[in-house]
Amino acid sequence: MAQLLEIPRLALHEQVAARLRTLLVEGTIPPGGKLNERELCELLRVSRTPLREAIKLLAAEGLVDLLPNRGAVAVRLSEVDILHAFELLAELEGISGGLAAERMTEGELAELRALHYEMLACHARGDLSGYYRSNALIHTAINDAAKNPLLSKIYREINARVQSLRFRTNQDSAKWQRAVQEHEAMLQALVARDGGRLRAILVEHLLRKRDAVLELMRSGSAPAARKA
């Protein structure tokens, strides 16, 4: 009986983590913002126990920092942090793409194609939140299709810390349109099983994201970490 009662409890904190993740990625809780437990319990209609478990999960993912005497705050990256993260992330996505082109099954390719069309529909509607969810699932699917658990583990750890910044780059319509075109090229490379081409597209795609993030930060549109 105790085991049966544990299952919904775990499911609840994972659901809370998913909702918090959206608030962090979409900037409802801005970088450096405190995760106020009382307010979040009211907003999410949960008790403090699953909320705290969810916050610990997001801290392990790198989306939240747990600070002495301050509690949990949304991660806030410096320019150097961003340069280092995207430098590594570009290579990890490139490796994922090269391996995925060889190892992705036809079923996985069909699912990725469906996600791609869903993403295009969101773009056509101007639904940035929906677009970003589909977009993130596409990048994750490519990483999963590489079928390298160690690569996936490292990729997820690095990618989690820059999710909110990647989301903001598509608020510029020209950059958003270019990102869509790059995703079209990714799908074509996957269909052709051209790992070298897909790797090059993904590396360039991530470096463009890095430049867009830095541009936002320097213009004051994206919060930067305070210098010590």
Q: Provide the strand spans (E) within 60-115.
A: 64-67, 71-74
**pLDDT value at position 1?**
36
**pLDDT value at position 227?**
38
Residue with tokens 């320019």: 79
Domain limits, the chain: 2-74, 79-219
For 9, residues 6+ apart whose C-beta sits below 8 A from its C-beta are 50
pLDDT tens for each residue of the chain, 228 residues long: 344 444 344 578 888 998 998 898 888 898 889 999 999 999 999 999 999 999 999 998 888 999 888 889 998 889 999 999 999 999 999 999 999 999 999 999 999 999 999 999 999 999 988 999 999 999 999 999 999 999 999 999 899 888 888 887 777 788 889 999 999 999 999 999 999 999 999 999 999 999 999 988 888 765 555 433
Structure tokens at 120: 């295009």
**pLDDT value at position 180?**
94
Domains 2-74 and 79-219 share a fold: no
- Domain 79-219, what fold? Four Helix Bundle (Hemerythrin (Met), subunit A) (1.20.120)
Q: Which one, of 202, 43, 25, 213, lies nearest residue 131 by Cα?
A: 25
Q: Could you give the CA distance from residue 115 to residue 99 in angstroms, rounded to a whole number? A: 20
* 2-74: in CATH 1.10.10.10: yes
Q: What is the pTM of this model?
A: 0.79
Separation of CA 61 from chain center: 11
Structure tokens at 203: 């590396």
